[in-house]
Amino acid sequence: MLNTPPKLEFKSSTFFAPILILYTNDMVAIEQALHDKISLAPDFFKDSPLIIDLREVNKLNLDLDFVELMQLLRRIGFFPVGIRGGNEQQNKQARALSLPIDTVRELGNSIVIGEVQKPENTQQPPAQPEVIAVKEPVQPAAIPPISAATILVTQPIRSGQRIYASGDLIILSQVSAGAEIMAEGNIHVYNTLRGRALAGVHGNTAARIFCFDLQAELISIAGDYKTSEDLNKQTYNHPVQIYLQNHALIIKEIA
């Protein structure tokens, strides 16, 4: 062969990571709030990369122990991969910890922990690895916009597979026992639902679950859940919709 194969190449790509926006410097409160979030979708947050947004803390002139924060996040199981909106001292600390620093563009409304996509970011210094972040305005946490990344799945969701939608999730095939489907918005399953379905995982209490044949292992809306043991025999094996009313899950047959 005349040409030796290349040793490496650079490629540009965009990927997703949650951004953690802090409103307090109280480590105990932060830890508690994170545990609450994680309990909603443990697998989703496990080993998740994370960008830390410090603008709100700095707006309030709160003194944040940056090193302690990093230790806390790593202990819980996150992998901080960068910060933004830090002050001079925080940026210095971040550099000392080998964390990339993202220059901030003005954002619209923010979500507390959200999955956001980054368009081309031309302001970024060229030497930095391309990390996540920044997008057009996002609605406040409670009501994610319906149009936000509705995901349509036509393949069967097999045991052990996980699907996450930052908007609505529509599934045309069966969802097997041992599969997990999660959406920040509504979940529609136009087939048999045997796995776990978690709608409104970021706290949207208006989210609903619809399915043609309810045989789920677990259903949850905004953290309120029922396991198959708690499911009423009358709705089992029936087409249903599931919604929240006064913190109670209502399972209603669709006539």
Partner 1 sequence: MARIIVVTSGKGGVGKTTTSAAIAMGLAKKGHKTAVIDFDVGLRNLDLILGCERRVVYDFINVINGEASLNQALIRDKNCNLLYILPASQTRDKDALTHEGVGKVLDELSKDFGYIVCDSPAGIEKGANLALYFADDAFVVTNPEISSVRDSDRMLGILSSKSRRAERNEEPIKEYLLLTRYDADRVKLGEMLSLEDVQEILSLELLGIIPESKSVLSASNAGIPVILDEKSEAGQAYADVVARYLGEKLPHRFIDGKKGFLRRLFGGRK
Residues 68-127 that bind partner 1 (CB under 8 A): none
The correct pick among 49, 77, 167, 178 for binding partner 1 (CB under 8 A) is: 178
Q: Is the Cβ of residue 5 or residue 108 nearer to partner 1 in the bound state? A: 5
Q: Which helix (H) or strand (E) holds 182?
A: strand 180-183
Residue matched to tokens 């009313």: 245
Q: Near partner 1 by CB under 8 A, which window of 19-27, 30-38, 157-165, 224-232?
A: 157-165
Start-to-end Cα distance in the chain: 69
Whose CA is closest to 181, among 191, 167, 168, 195? 195
User: Could you say whether residue 135 binds partner 1 (CB under 8 A)?
Assistant: no
Q: Which of 94, 157, 199, 201 binds partner 1 (CB under 8 A)?
A: 157
Q: Under the criterion CB under 8 A, does residue 239 sit at the interface with partner 1?
A: no
The answer to whether residues 167 and 145 touch, using CB atoms and an 8 Å cutoff, is: yes
Least separation in angstroms between residue 171's CB and partner 1 is 14
Size of the site for partner 1 (CB under 8 A): 14
Cα radius of gyration (the chain)? 21
Using CB under 8 A as the binding rule, whether residue 238 contacts partner 1 is answered as: no
Least CB distance from residue 161 to partner 1, whole Å?
A: 4
- Pick the stretch among 4-12, 27-35, 172-180, 218-226 that binds partner 1 (CB under 8 A): 172-180
Stretches 113-121, 123-131, 158-166, 234-242: which one binds partner 1 (CB under 8 A)? 158-166
Alpha carbon separation from 185 to 120, 173, 233, 242 (Å, rounded): 27, 19, 27, 13
Residue 95: half-sphere exposure toward Cβ, Cα within 13 Å: 7
| Cα distance between residue 217 and residue 214, in whole Å | 9
Binding to partner 1 in span 17-76, by CB under 8 A: none
Is residue 160 a contact residue for partner 1 (CB under 8 A)? yes
Local structure of 96: helix, strand or coil: helix
- The piece of 28-36, 81-89, 110-118, 153-161 that touches partner 1 (CB under 8 A) is 153-161
Cα separation, 174 vs 185, whole angstroms:
19
Closest CA to 82 of 103, 55, 113: 103
25, 161, 205, 228: residue in contact with partner 1 (rule CB under 8 A)? 161
Q: Does 227 bind partner 1 (CB under 8 A)?
A: no
Give contact residues for partner 1 (rule: CB under 8 A).
Answer: 155-161, 174, 176-179, 192, 194
